[in-house]
Amino acid sequence: MKTKRIACLGLFIALAFVLSYVEYLLPLNIGIPGAKVGLANLVVMVALYTLGKKDAALLSVVRVVLVGFTFGNLAMMLYSMAGALLSFVVMLIAKRTKLFSITGVSVLGGVFHNVGQIIVAMFVLETASLLYYLPFLIVIGTISGIVIGVISGLITVRVDRLFDIK
Amino acid sequence: MKKNDYYLIIGILLLTGIVVLASNLILRNNSGSAAVAVVTIDGKEYGRFPLDKDVTERIELSDGVYNVISIHDGICEIKEASCRDQICVHHMNVQYDGQTIVCLPNKLVVTIVNSDEDDIDGATH
């Protein structure tokens, strides 16, 4: 049982890593810094609903560190880490309340990923004018959250059945 | 998707829209208030007039010498002057930072000063 879990986690991390790379290759150029589809969040969502919160948290952190070292720089890693942690905490809470389905949880995750990034960027650059970007990032986070949520909902059903890892 | 999901999505989008609209309105109202028309007479500051408040001020100097400055629609101009040349009256309206109207005979200078320098261009790296 434990071996299977570790193997699955490894698979998920690899998948998140690859999806981050895909996103890195195909950046979403709409003139707003930090706007991303968040493909890797797909894996985090699936992990959260199949493996559980501990493994999903681990996956989220490992992914950010790996991607940061491989494709980005330290500043980018800092932003991603803040976004990933905040969004993960919010997703956990949202999941715990059982108010929302996987889509709602994903939307909240997407929104708060951007919020976390902006907060850190505001501290690093020491300017409040970045708040100007926040509404756009929230809308993008919502849209990508819906997409990611629907897809991860479809995947979760199948992965759960295949692996039966809970 | 649950019903709550739809509420959440619509709520987020609505809230963002409202915040954007509100902040736009506030920004628009404030954009003129930062600019101030500073009137100096013979090198001494006479008064400061914010451009967002419509005002007509008759500035009386000694010996019946006067200038009438008028601020409306975010611009500042000199309506009347007692001097002969009337250059300041014919001068174009001023509204941007650093623009000046000078009435040399009366030693009166109107300068627009924009105290708001911390806008987005100044802050972005």
Helix then strand then coil, in percent of chain B rounded to 5, is: 35, 35, 30
Which residue of chain A has the CA closest to B120?
A: A129
Domain assignment of residue A58, yes or no = yes
Smallest Cβ–Cβ distance between A104 and the set B5, B19, B124 belongs to: B5
Hunting for tokens 């690899």 — which residue is that?
Answer: A14
Look at B10 and B117; give whichever has higher pLDDT: B10
Which residue in the set A99, A127, A149 is minimally distant from B123, CB to CB? Answer: A127
Q: In this complex, do A135 and B125 lie within 8 Å of one another by their Cβ atoms?
A: no
B66 residue type, one letter = Y
* ipTM confidence: 0.72
Cβ neighbours, 10 Å, residue B86? 14
Torsion from C-alpha of A126, A132, A133, A138, nearest 10 degrees: 120
Tokens 């105290």 map to which residue? B115
A148 lies in a domain? yes
Q: Is residue A33 part of a domain?
A: no
Two structure tokens written together for A117: 């990034």
CB-CB contact of A88 with A41 (8 Å): no
Q: Specify the number of domains making up chain A.
A: 1
pLDDT digits 0-9 by tens, B45-57: 888 888 878 888 8
Residue of A107, A111, A129 to mutate for B, most B C-beta atoms under 10 A? A129
Task: Supply A21's token pair.
Answer: 């790379």
Does position A166 have pLDDT exceeding 60, yes or no? no
**Strands across the sheet with B55-60, in order?**
B55-60, B66-72, B75-81
Give the gap in angstroms from C-alpha A34 to the nearest C-alpha of chain B: 15
Residues from chain A contacting residue B5 (CB–CB below 8 Å)? 100-101, 103-104, 107, 149
CATH number of the structural domain spanning residue A83: 1.10.1760.20
Of A99, A111, A127, the CB nearest to B12: A111
3-state secondary structure chain A: CHHHHHHHHHHHHHHHHHHHHHHHHCCCCCCCCCCCCCHHHHHHHHHHHHCCHHHHHHHHHHHHHHHHHHCCCHHHHHHHHHHHHHHHHHHHHHHHHCCCCHHHHHHHHHHHHHHHHHHHHHHHHCCCHHHHHHHHHHHHHHHHHHHHHHHHHHHHHHHHHHHCCC
Q: Which of B2, B119, B123 sits opposite A101 (nearest CB)?
A: B2
CATH fold, domain B34-115, is: mini-chromosome maintenance (MCM) complex, domain 2 (2.60.320)
- Please tell me the predicted confidence (pLDDT) of residue B90: 83
Per-residue confidence (pLDDT) for residue B27, from 0 to 100: 61
Contact B12 A107 (CB under 8 A): yes
State the virtual CA torsion across A38, A44, A46, A48 in degrees, nearest 10: -140
Which domain range does residue A155 map to?
2-27+38-163
- Are B61 and B68 a contacting pair, CB within 8 Å? no
Residues B67-104 pLDDT 10s: 888 888 878 888 888 887 787 888 888 877 777 788 87
Q: For B2-47, how does the pLDDT look when each residue is reduced to its tens digit (9 = 90+)?
A: 788 888 889 989 998 888 888 777 766 555 556 788 888 877 888 8
> Quick one: average pLDDT of A83-95?
91
Domain presence at residue A32: no
Whether A121 is in a domain gets the answer: yes
- Rg of chain A, C-alpha, whole Å: 15
Alpha helices in B59-106 (DSSP H): 87-90
Which chain A residues have any C-beta within 8 angstroms of a chain B C-beta?
99-101, 103-104, 107-108, 111, 125, 127, 129, 132, 135, 138-139, 142, 146, 149-150
